[in-house]
Amino acid sequence: MTRYGAMPRDTVALDEGTRALVIIDQTRLPREVSVLSLTTQEEIYRAIATLQVRGAPAIGVAAAIGVYLAALDIETDDWTEFHSRFVSARQYLASSRPTAVNLFWALDRMEGVVIRNKNLPVSGIKSLLRDEAARIHDEDIRACRAIGEHGLGLIRDGWGILTHCNAGRLATVRYGTALAPLHLGRERGYNFKVFAGETRPLLQGARLTAFELMEDGIDTTVICDNMASRVMQKGWIQAVLVGCDRMAANGDACNKIGTSGLAIIARHYGVPFYVCAPTSTIDMHVPGGDGIVIEERGAGEITEMWYGERMAPEGVGVYNPAFDITPADLITAVVTERGVLKPPYAESMEALRR
Ligand code: MRU
């Protein structure tokens, strides 16, 4: 789908030979395509916490591979001891970031393997853990490709598309969620004009989405986050496509800070607002957006990270929520690998479980 250039094909992968989690270091992009081989739990934790690997699906896959690598290092034949040390490793990785449900979903799946196979020797459980991590990795590739197909059915050649943060191949294993329809369209000769919101404060839109789309030869324009209303007012945007970190059972969508504002503006201008996410991002245990924990990150990301010298006065209060909640009633449709869900989402998502 994407022309890879200097990029490895997959954003997140397991290297069995070196027992490493291999990632593209997203903090270095777009200046440098740097591939990291992470072998210790501390390196993997730090990679997730500092956003070297980021985006809900990619975090889930990284955690699955990470906890498999932790399991390999547990030297015991006793299941109870193995399980207890596995749970410690799992809890450590689970504490790296709080919001994207894919992290917990993937770790749950991995622990399920340990619990269901209590009667096997530990060596057998370790190979089943490797298989499960590989399945989580491969399922993401297939799910994102299917999201691309379903999403492409909602947009037209030549449209202006606004997106936010990076819900592209860098946020998943290979194809992306919100950007998958754009990559797929490109492959089929469509010409979209994509506007990428820069996404303060960590600039995932300006750095990552712009890089990824330009690599694929897609017409890309970066705007500051406060310019979204202007481009919609000018009639340049025919659809907004965003990703999601956790969708509540009522369809409220938690995504990168700034997403809910875009949904409000899109409603004002009559522009359809689509959330693209694999079903692994739907959390039926959380009834509504209020129940989702929103990560708050360090003040320095706002006051100094991108400036030659500190920009805001010392001692000023800083509020840095990394995500916000878009109420379900502002979402035109949710694009999953299993099809396009329409409101009311409580019903359409419940139907997915049947
Ligand atoms: O803080 P980040 O960069 O991990 O936030 C990522 C997002 O908000 C993405 O839109 C979301 O994870 C969907 S990725 C397919």
CATH code where residue 273 lies? 3.40.50.10470
Whole-prediction pTM value? Answer: 0.96
Mean pLDDT of 46-51: 98
Q: Is residue 25 located within the same domain as residue 68?
A: yes
Q: At what angle do helices 101-116 and 79-94 cross, to 10 degrees?
A: 180
Does residue 301 form part of some domain? yes
Q: How do residues 237-252 score in pLDDT, each as one tens digit?
A: 999 999 999 999 999 9
* 130, 173: one domain: no
Q: Are residues 290 and 159 in the same domain?
A: yes
> Residues near ligand 1 with C-beta < 6 Å?
51, 54-57, 100, 165, 167, 171-172, 177, 204, 243-245, 255-256, 322
CB atoms within 10 A of CB 41: 17
Q: Picking from 254-263, 298-307, 344-353, which range would have the lowest pLDDT averaged per residue? A: 344-353
What is residue 23's three-state secondary structure?
strand
pLDDT at 5 over 60: no
Interatomic CA distance for residues 105 and 82, integer angstroms: 21
Task: With respect to residue 150, please indicate whether it lies within any of the assigned structural domains.
Answer: no
Mean pLDDT of 75-88: 98
- CA distance linking residue 181 with residue 218, whole number of Å: 12
Residue 21 has pLDDT above 90, yes or no: yes
Quick one: 214 and 328 in the same domain? yes
- Does residue 54 sit in the same domain as residue 121? yes
Asked if 295 and 160 sit in the same domain, the reply is yes
Q: What is the pLDDT of residue 7?
A: 78
Mean pLDDT of 258-278: 98
Q: Are residues 130 and 247 in the same domain?
A: no
Residue 50 CA, ligand 1 centroid: distance in Å: 13
Binned at pLDDT 50, 70 and 90, residue 187 comes out as: very high
Grouping H, G, I as helix, E, B as strand and the rest as coil, residue 311 is coil
pLDDT in tens, 144-170: 999 999 999 999 999 999 999 999 999
pLDDT at 2 over 50: no
CATH of the domain at 58: 1.20.120.420
What proportion of the chain, given as a percentage, has pLDDT over 90? Answer: 96
Q: Is 25 a catalytic residue?
A: no
Residue ending a domain, choose from 121, 144, 167? 144
Same domain as 196, residue 219: yes
Q: What values do phi and psi take at 150, rounded to 5?
A: -65, -40
Residue 38 has pLDDT above 80, yes or no: yes
Q: How far is the CA of 253 from the centre of ligand 1 (A)?
A: 12
The vertex-136 CA angle with 244 and 181, nearest 5°, equals: 45
Domain end marker among 144, 170, 205: 144
Looking at the structure, tell me whether residues 218 and 110 fall in a common domain.
Answer: no
Asked if residue 354 lies in contact with residue 326, where contact means CB atoms within 8 angstroms, the answer is no
Distance (angstroms) between ligand 1 centre and the Cα of 81 equals 35
Residue finishing a domain among 144, 177, 211 = 144
Q: Are residues 47 and 22 located together in one domain of the fold?
A: yes
Output the residue whose Cα is nearest ligand 1's atom 10: 243
Residue 280 lies in a domain: yes
Q: Dump pLDDT digits (tens) for 308-346.
A: 999 999 999 999 999 999 999 999 999 999 999 999 999
Q: How does the average pLDDT of the chain come out, rounded?
A: 96
Rounded to 5, what percent of the chain is helix, strand, coil? 45, 15, 40
3-class state of residue 307 by DSSP:
coil
Query: What total of structural domains would you count in the chain?
Result: 2
Written as six digits, the tokens of 50 are: 């500092």
Structural domain including 71 reads 4-144
Q: 3-state class of 93 per DSSP?
A: helix
